[in-house]
């Protein structure tokens, strides 16, 4: 007979209606998020463009200010050749009287023009006269032929150069122009101007202004820590060139660390600035100063732009939420109106049926009460069966341990039995021969052997019997000793070093002796299994008091328990042992037993790499009879 084809179960009409409604809500939410995201993007772009235009205007103003400042001094070096004493000094460099007159003249011109220094250099690059001739570190006699502006002027090209002075370390812009007489070059006139005073007008809150040279080295900045840093790492050839010209003298020229995050269509870019404004996003714009190959960089703080975009997003989102609430409110009003109308129509019918409904409800409640009573009885029976099954599992675990110990127990009993047989035969012979003293010694030894065998079987009988669920004060040390007795043979055979430490010898816990011993035997057995391939093998048991709790810790030096396995240790039928060597019930039963005592069983890793199980039990002051 052919099997019937499987039937496709379609959702009911109310189910399909709920699915459609959920899909509409999801679609509406996505549309609202899309509109809010568009508002975010539009506001961000508009605010960024507004910020860019404002920054571009400031940048133009800074560029014009710089050009105006430099243009005031551009003509000054060329006018020095009009002084006859300057021409004469270059023709007669050994005339000290003439040098003094030129020094005084340069000092006066420097004072009137408010420049930093003015000096005259011969064709060999040696300074012949200077406006700072009175200073101890006067430029007179210095050789500046290595400076690029001097080399350019000697090649008949007016020189312009920004650098750090090698004498005083003062930065400035150098104007250089050749000095000619009758068409023949006699030397070079140089004017040094301090342009760092422009930086005081560049402080714009969190915005940053940089001025870089042709190599990208920052020599003017509104951020003092950024001066003499490179926008990008300099090549070895550029570093060599700057070293020869001593343009920045002793400064290291380390990279500044500005990272470009995103380019914009208008030539600007979004960058991330270095410390002290680490991780700050800024809008970067550049403006080239072509004649001098300089470049202005203006960094605008994007925090107001981001705040505007967030506010636009939140405002749009809240507006959409308000509109949606108004729509829902209108729908709810219409729905309530229809419900009121139906309620008025059903009111009379409900009133007529009220008595019958009350009677039906009363009967229903009575039936429910009866059902709940029956369910309560069933639940109590189930709990009783569960406790009985758990007790059976505990007993089965004990029997399994006894089965594993059978070989060791047989060995322990075999030796005393053999000795009993031998010594009883010897005693009979000694009595027949009249050697009663020696026969008494044999009988005493036989009694001791019988006592030893009785102690062994007594421990096994106490471990094997079922225990009740009552709790009483139990000496923790005695329970540990009794549990250790059952695994003592295996500890000796596997050469395990056992160590026990007790904070106090009179620690009592509220529990059942037999079931506590079962938990300890299970923990000891697991520890011995874990240390099968370990070296050294150390089994440690420690007992202490902590906040009205008796703490029993069982530690081993095995491979430990990974975190992923530790989360499932106390689940029934979970085991890491090979198939056939365990059912995965030992720890689950042990955890349940400790929990019934009102305590906890915990597992954690040790600092030495092994595992540690901690038993927490309610403390008891003394053992009752």
The whole-number pLDDT of residue 1 equals 47
Q: Return the minimum-mean-pLDDT range out of 236-250, 354-368, 476-490.
A: 236-250
Categorize the per-residue pLDDT at 543 as very low, low, confident or very high, splitting at 50, 70 and 90. Answer: very high
Placement of tokens 């002027």 in the chain: 153
Whether residue 325 is predicted with pLDDT greater than 50 in this model: the reply is yes
Whether residue 495 is predicted with pLDDT greater than 80 in this model: the reply is yes
Q: Is 187 in a helix, a strand, or coil?
A: strand
Categorize the per-residue pLDDT at 616 as very low, low, confident or very high, splitting at 50, 70 and 90. Answer: very high
**For residue range 346-366, what is the model confidence (pLDDT) as tens digits?**
776 777 777 777 778 778 888
At CA 199, angle to CA 196 and CA 204, rounded to 5? 175
Whether residue 392 is predicted with pLDDT greater than 80 in this model: the reply is no
| Whether 318 contacts 326, CB under 8 Å | no
Q: Is 280 in a helix, a strand, or coil?
A: strand
Say how far apart CA 264 and CA 262 lie, in whole Å.
7
Say which residue, 265 or 596, is predicted with more confidence.
596
Give the mean model confidence (pLDDT) for residues 33-52: 79
Categorize the per-residue pLDDT at 442 as very low, low, confident or very high, splitting at 50, 70 and 90. Answer: confident
Say how far apart CA 465 and CA 457 lie, in whole Å.
12
**For residue range 74-97, what is the model confidence (pLDDT) as tens digits?**
888 888 888 898 888 888 988 888
Give the CATH class of 468-618.
Answer: alpha beta
Whether residue 514 is predicted with pLDDT greater than 60 in this model: the reply is yes
Give the mean model confidence (pLDDT) for residues 60-71: 79
The whole-number pLDDT of residue 502 equals 85
Categorize the per-residue pLDDT at 57 as very low, low, confident or very high, splitting at 50, 70 and 90. Answer: confident
Q: What is the CATH number of domain 82-193?
A: 3.30.450.20
Domain boundaries, the chain: 82-193, 395-466, 468-618
The whole-number pLDDT of residue 553 equals 92
Strand order in the sheet with 208-212: 218-221, 208-212, 294-301, 280-289, 269-273, 259-263
CA distances from 360 to 350, 356, 446 (A): 14, 6, 84
- The percentage of residues in the chain with a pLDDT greater than 70, rounded to a whole number, is 84
Give the mean model confidence (pLDDT) for residues 394-402: 58
The whole-number pLDDT of residue 56 equals 78
Nearest to 131 by CA among 156, 158, 97, 103: 103
Give the mean model confidence (pLDDT) for residues 480-487: 85
| Whether 466 contacts 390, CB under 8 Å | no
Instruction: Label residue 21 exposed, middle or buried (CB < 10 Å: 0-12, 13-18, 19+).
Output: exposed
The whole-number pLDDT of residue 405 equals 52
Whether residue 541 is predicted with pLDDT greater than 90 in this model: the reply is yes
**For residue range 183-203, what is the model confidence (pLDDT) as tens digits?**
888 899 999 888 877 777 776
The whole-number pLDDT of residue 617 equals 92
Categorize the per-residue pLDDT at 445 as very low, low, confident or very high, splitting at 50, 70 and 90. Answer: confident
Q: Do the domains 468-618 and 82-193 match in fold?
A: no
Q: 76: phi > 0 → left, psi -120 to 50 → alpha, else beta; which?
A: alpha
Whether residue 419 is predicted with pLDDT greater than 70 in this model: the reply is no
Whether residue 611 is predicted with pLDDT greater than 80 in this model: the reply is yes
Whether residue 624 is predicted with pLDDT greater than 50 in this model: the reply is no
Give the mean model confidence (pLDDT) for residues 278-295: 76
Whether residue 389 is predicted with pLDDT greater than 80 in this model: the reply is no
Say which residue, 49 or 474, is predicted with more confidence.
474
Categorize the per-residue pLDDT at 625 as very low, low, confident or very high, splitting at 50, 70 and 90. Answer: very low
Tokens of 287: 């403006």
The whole-number pLDDT of residue 213 equals 79
- Range list of H helices, 72-141: 76-79, 84-91, 96-113
Say which residue, 533 or 581, is predicted with more confidence.
533
Placement of tokens 């930093």 in the chain: 116
Q: 403: phi > 0 → left, psi -120 to 50 → alpha, else beta; which?
A: alpha
How high does pLDDT run on average in the chain? 79
Categorize the per-residue pLDDT at 467 as very low, low, confident or very high, splitting at 50, 70 and 90. Answer: low
């Amino acid at each position: 007979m052919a099997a019937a084809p499987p039937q496709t179960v379609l959702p009911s009409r109310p189910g399909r209606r709920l699915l459609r409604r959920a899909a509409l809500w999801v679609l509406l939410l996505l549309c609202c998020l899309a509109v809010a995201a568009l508002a975010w993007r539009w506001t961000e772009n508009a605010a960024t463009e507004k910020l860019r235009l404002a920054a571009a205007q400031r940048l133009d103003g800074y560029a014009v200010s710089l050009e105006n400042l430099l243009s005031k001094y551009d003509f000054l070096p060329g006018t020095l050749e009009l002084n006859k004493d300057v021409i004469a000094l270059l023709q007669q460099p050994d005339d000290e009287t003439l040098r003094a007159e030129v020094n005084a003249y340069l000092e006066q011109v420097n004072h009137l023009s408010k420049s930093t220094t003015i000096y005259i250099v011969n064709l060999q690059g040696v300074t012949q006269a200077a406006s700072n001739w009175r200073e101890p570190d006067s430029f007179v006699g210095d050789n500046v032929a290595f400076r690029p502006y001097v080399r350019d002027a000697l090649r008949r090209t007016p020189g312009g150069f920004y650098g750090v002075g090698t004498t005083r370390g003062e930065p400035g812009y150098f104007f250089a122009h050749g000095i000619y007489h009758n068409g023949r070059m006699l030397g070079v006139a140089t004017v040094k101007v301090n342009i760092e005073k422009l930086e005081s007008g560049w402080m714009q809150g969190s915005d940053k202004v940089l001025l870089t040279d042709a190599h990208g080295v920052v020599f003017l900045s509104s951020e003092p820590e950024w001066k003499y840093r490179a926008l990008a790492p300099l090549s070895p050839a550029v570093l060599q060139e700057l070293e020869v010209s001593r343009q920045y003298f002793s400064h290291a020229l380390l990279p500044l660390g500005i990272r470009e995050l995103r380019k914009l269509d208008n030539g600007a870019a979004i960058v991330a600035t270095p410390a002290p404004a680490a991780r700050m996003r800024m809008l970067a714009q550049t403006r080239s100063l072509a004649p001098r190959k300089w470049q202005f960089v203006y960094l605008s703080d994007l925090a107001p732009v981001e705040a505007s975009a967030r506010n636009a997003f939140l405002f749009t989102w809240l507006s959409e939420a308000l509109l949606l609430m108004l729509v829902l409110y209108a729908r709810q009003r219409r729905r309530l109106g229809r419900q009121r109308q139906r309620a008025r129509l059903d009111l009379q019918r409900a009133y007529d049926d009220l008595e019958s409904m009350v009677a039906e409800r009363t009967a229903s409640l009575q039936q429910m009460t009866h059902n709940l009573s029956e369910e309560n009885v069933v639940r109590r029976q189930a709990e009783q069966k569960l406790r009985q099954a758990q007790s059976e599992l505990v007993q089965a675990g004990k029997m399994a341990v006894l089965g594993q110990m059978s070989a060791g127990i047989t060995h322990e009993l075999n030796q005393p039995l053999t000795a009993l047989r031998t010594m009883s035969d010897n005693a009979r012979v000694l009595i027949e021969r009249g050697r009663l003293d020696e026969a008494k010694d044999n009988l005493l030894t036989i009694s001791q052997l019988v006592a030893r065998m009785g102690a062994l079987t007594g421990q096994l009988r106490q471990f094997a019997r079922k225990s009740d669920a009552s709790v009483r004060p139990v000496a923790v040390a005695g329970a540990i000793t009794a549990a250790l007795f059952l695994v003592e043979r295996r500890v000796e055979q596997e050469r395990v070093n056992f160590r026990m430490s007790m904070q106090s010898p009179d620690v009592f816990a509220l529990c059942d002796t037999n079931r506590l011993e079962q938990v300890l035997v299970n923990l000891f057995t697991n520890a011995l299994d874990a240390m099968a391939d370990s070296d050294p093998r150390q089994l440690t048991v420690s007992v202490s008091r902590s906040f009205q709790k008796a703490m029993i810790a069982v530690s081993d030096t095995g491979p430990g328990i990974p975190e992923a396995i530790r989360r499932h240790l106390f689940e029934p039928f979970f085991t890491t042992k090979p198939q056939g060597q365990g059912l995965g019930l030992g720890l689950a039963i042990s955890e349940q037993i400790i929990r019934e005592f009102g305590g906890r069983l915990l597992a954690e890793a040790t600092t030495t790499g092994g595992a540690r199980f901690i038993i927490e039990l309610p403390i008891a002051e003394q053992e009752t009879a």
